[in-house]
């Protein structure tokens, strides 16, 4: 990429963007079962896109200069608080930023003797590890029940120390879509005088509609005694364009702990509710318009179809030889793994994922961790019901093909080689060449075969996986 000498026409640019996106996964249509959320109602996404564009150049940096931001944010955050048990909130750029602010508020609310700590179930999103990394906390990881995948309240209780500033529960946790026992965990936290954050990033704007549509959803929001903050992403089941989440605090004083102000320089005064300072109001406009375009009725209808699709999917997967659904999710997130293959029916889920990709579907592979086997994750959204039979057919076909192919074949000694690599002694080019030498193309193509990469990563401990992934990122951006 180089800066052109002369400016180019809009048509020319748009044509190039189309070309650049040629190998992207489709964001609409339901064949990509993670990352994207489709209502199946193009007019809603159109309204959001136009509102986003309308707010694009507005800078949320100074709310006194752009009062539209304050009004829109109050409406959006107010709607989230109304649905999720009240509180005062902040509109953020996503789940990670919402979590970051909740962790910052908890850290700043209490002096500790040692480094501040957080008790976090192993199924909680890495956003908590990232927040700990950025904000100087220690994570005390707590195992989950190996059958239900829900966090164990006694495990959380045992992890609380005098330096614990926050306890975490997920509603639901992403990997298996199950809701942690929020009331019990929050009760334990309250009894020990520790704040409790509910990560409802993926479920906050889904579970209430599922409940209204007849699903059995336990209480999980700010109305539960002991829950002190909650995150809810609007760019997930709110169906808003990316860059939209809300963090709510039960106590307005805690929200102030998330804020940042600086007058320690000779420039303009800085008041930030979020990590970012200057930022576009586009995502806020997009989220606001999505709420307005769908309304209660729209979300409830989406809740009904999503619930029906998830039920059909779970029942269908259970009938496919060699596969089993993990846990009993209350949400519409479904994970399935191999049934172990004792009868010869077992399938390698990483090969299954590649086989589905060849057939035009993206099914998200998840590595084994903390005793939870490798599996495939599907986020069922509003558009899934229309294609659930086709999805089940593809899963069955891909499972059959994976069974025939057998597990990903790793060149002998590859795992040991990767485990023992001195990454500091390798530059990005050498790493890329090494990967190519064992048949892994890091050049980026439309339909990568990932089974070997996933199998190697799966065989490594988490800290080694992380080092390799960072190098991988560096290589693809070289
Ligand atoms: C439960 C949960 N928390 C946090 C996040 C992080 O959200 P984001 O990717 O918007 O930062 C996710 C994303 O999938 C999630 O599922």
What's the Cα-to-Cα distance from 225 to each of 184, 187, 371, rounded to whole Å? 10, 7, 32
Q: How far is the CA of 174 from the centre of ligand 1 (A)?
A: 8
Smallest CA separation from ligand 1 atom 7, residue: 95
Is the CB of residue 88 less than 8 Å from the CB of residue 256?
no
**Tens-of-pLDDT digits for all 478 residues of the chain?**
689 999 999 999 999 999 999 999 999 999 999 999 999 999 999 999 999 999 999 999 999 999 999 999 999 999 999 999 999 999 999 999 999 999 999 999 999 999 999 999 999 999 999 999 999 999 999 999 999 999 999 999 999 999 999 999 999 999 999 999 999 999 999 999 999 999 999 999 999 999 999 999 999 999 999 999 999 999 999 999 999 999 999 999 999 999 999 999 999 999 999 999 999 999 999 999 999 999 999 999 999 999 999 999 999 999 999 999 999 999 999 999 998 754 546 799 999 999 999 999 999 999 999 999 999 999 999 898 889 999 999 999 999 999 999 998 888 888 998 899 899 888 988 888 888 877 777 766 556 788 989 999 999 999 999 999 999 899 888 8
210 membership: H or E segment, kind and range: helix 207-212
Question: What's the rounded Cα separation, in Å, for the pair 385 and 381?
Answer: 8
Would you state the pLDDT for residue 384? 87
At 37, is the secondary structure helix, strand, or coil?
A: coil
Between helices 388-405 and 282-318, what is the axis angle to 10°? Answer: 60
Work out which ligand 1 atom sits closest to the CA atom of 203: 1
Q: Which residues on adjacent β-strands are paired with residue 364?
A: 377
How many CB atoms neighbour CB 475 within 10 A? 19
Q: What phi and psi values does residue 152 have, to the nearest 5 degrees?
A: -95, 120
CA angle at residue 99 from 96 to 103, to 5 degrees? 135
Is the CB of residue 363 less than 8 Å from the CB of residue 352?
yes
Work out which ligand 1 atom sits closest to the CA atom of 174: 16
Q: How far is the CA of 409 from the centre of ligand 1 (A)?
A: 32
- What sections of 359-449 are H helices per DSSP? 388-405, 414-420, 428-437
Task: For residue 71, give both structure tokens.
Answer: 């009004």
- Ligand 1 pocket by C-beta < 6 Å: which residues? 94-96, 99, 125, 127, 170, 174, 199, 201-202, 233
Peptide bond between residue 401 and the one before it cis (omega within 30 degrees of 0): no
At 131, is the secondary structure helix, strand, or coil?
A: helix
- Largest distance between two CA atoms of the chain: 73
Which mutation among 124, 168, 169, 233 tests ligand 1's pocket best, with the greatest number of atoms within 8 A of CB?
233
For the chain, how are helix, strand and coil distributed in percent, rounded to 5?
Answer: 45, 15, 40
Long-range CB contact pairs, 27-31, < 8 A, 24+: 28/383, 29/383, 29/387, 30/381, 30/383, 30/384, 30/386, 30/387, 30/391, 31/360, 31/361, 31/362, 31/387, 31/391
Q: What phi and psi values does residue 372 have, to the nearest 5 degrees?
A: -90, 125
At 402, is the secondary structure helix, strand, or coil?
A: helix
Match 């409940």 to its residue by tokens. 211
Would you state the pLDDT for residue 345? 61
């Amino acid at each position: 990429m180089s800066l052109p000498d002369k400016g180019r026409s809009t048509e020319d640019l748009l044509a190039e963007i189309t070309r650049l996106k040629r190998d992207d996964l489709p964001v609409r249509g339901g064949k990509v079962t993670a990352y994207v959320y489709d209502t199946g109602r193009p007019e809603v996404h159109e309204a959001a896109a136009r509102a986003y564009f309308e707010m694009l150049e507005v800078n949320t940096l100074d709310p006194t200069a752009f009062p539209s931001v304050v009004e829109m944010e109050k409406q959006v955050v107010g709607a989230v608080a109304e649905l999720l048990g009240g509180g005062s909130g902040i509109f953020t750029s996503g789940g990670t930023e919402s979590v970051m602010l909740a962790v910052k508020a908890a850290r700043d609310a209490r002096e500790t003797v040692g480094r501040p700590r957080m008790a976090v179930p192993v199924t909680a999103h890495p956003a908590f590890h990232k927040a700990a990394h950025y904000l100087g906390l220690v994570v005390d990881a707590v195992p989950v029940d190996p059958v239900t995948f829900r966090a164990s309240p006694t495990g959380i209780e045992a992890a609380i120390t005098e330096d614990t500033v926050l306890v975490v529960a997920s509603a639901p946790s992403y990997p298996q879509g199950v809701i942690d026992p929020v009331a019990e965990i929050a009760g334990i936290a309250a009894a020990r005088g520790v704040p409790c954050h509910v990560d409802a990033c993926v479920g906050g704007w889904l579970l209430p509609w599922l409940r209204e549509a007849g699903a059995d959803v336990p209480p999980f929001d700010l109305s539960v005694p002991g829950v002190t903050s909650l995150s809810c992403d609007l760019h997930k089941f709110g169906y808003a364009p990316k860059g939209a989440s809300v963090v709510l605090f039960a106590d307005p004083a805690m929200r102030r702990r998330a804020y940042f102000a600086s007058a320690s320089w000779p420039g303009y005064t800085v008041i930030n509710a979020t990590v970012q300072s200057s930022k576009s109001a586009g995502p806020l406009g997009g989220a606001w318009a999505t709420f307005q375009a769908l309304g209660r009725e729209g979300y409830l209808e989406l809740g009904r179809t999503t619930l029906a699709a998830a039920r059909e999917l779970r029942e269908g997967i259970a009938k496919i030889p060699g596969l089993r659904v993990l846990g009993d999710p209350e949400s519409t997130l479904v994970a399935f793994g191999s049934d172990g293959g004792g009868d010869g029916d077992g399938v390698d889920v990483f090969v299954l994922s590649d086989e589905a990709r060849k057939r035009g579907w993206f099914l998200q592979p998840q590595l084994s961790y903390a005793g939870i086997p490798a599996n495939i994750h599907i986020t069922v959204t509003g558009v899934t019901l229309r294609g659930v039979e086709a999805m089940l057919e593809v899963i069955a076909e891909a499972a059959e093909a994976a069974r025939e192919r057998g597990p990903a074949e790793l060149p002998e000694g590859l795992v040991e080689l990767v485990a023992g690599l001195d990454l500091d002694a390798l530059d990005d080019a050498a790493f890329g060449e090494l990967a190519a030498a064992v048949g892994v193309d890091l050049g980026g193509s439309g339909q990568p075969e990932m089974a070997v990469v996933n199998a190697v990563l799966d065989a490594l401990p988490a800290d080694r996986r992380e080092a390799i992934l960072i190098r991988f990122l560096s290589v693809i951006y070289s």
